[in-house]
Amino acid sequence: MNVGLWIIQILLMLALVHGRLMLSPPASAQPGMAYILAIPIRYRQLIGVAEILGAVGLVLPALTGILPWLTPLAAAGLVILMVSAAIFHLRRKESPNITLNLILLAMAAFVAYGRFVLVPL
């Protein structure tokens, strides 16, 4: 179970590199990512920082053994972030993004549950 949780944590961390796109200038928004421009700049920056910190928090505390209890908290925070993202994309009727958000939500929820209950650090 521990190995499976680590694999999901690393995959989730790699998927959340999306946070970097939220911090970059609006000109970098690709055609399929027009939603980035619909978010006000300050909120976009907040989301980007939250995604990056959440991604780092999934792996770094557990890997170093320094404050490992932050790992399930980071996963729980990402659950909240993905619920918010799914609601945002639902209002914009962006089905592929909703699907991705729900997959990331399930992964983050599994890591949170796994690190809180199944295999605590």
Phi/psi region, residue 115 (left: phi>0; alpha: psi -120 to 50; beta: rest), is alpha
- The tens place of each residue's pLDDT in the chain, 121 residues long, gives 889 889 999 988 888 777 887 787 666 556 667 777 778 889 988 988 999 999 999 999 988 989 999 999 999 999 999 999 999 989 988 888 899 899 999 999 999 999 989 888 7
The confidence score (pLDDT) of residue 114 equals 93
Residue reference for tokens 């996963």: 75
The confidence score (pLDDT) of residue 87 equals 94
The confidence score (pLDDT) of residue 40 equals 85
Joined together, the tokens standing for residue 94 give 């962006």
Listed by start position, the domains of the chain span 2-118
Residue reference for tokens 């694999």: 7
Q: Count other C-beta atoms under 10 Å from residue 106's C-beta.
A: 13
Whole-model pTM: value is: 0.86
The confidence score (pLDDT) of residue 79 equals 95
**Count helices and strands in the chain by DSSP H and E runs:** 6, 0
The confidence score (pLDDT) of residue 29 equals 56
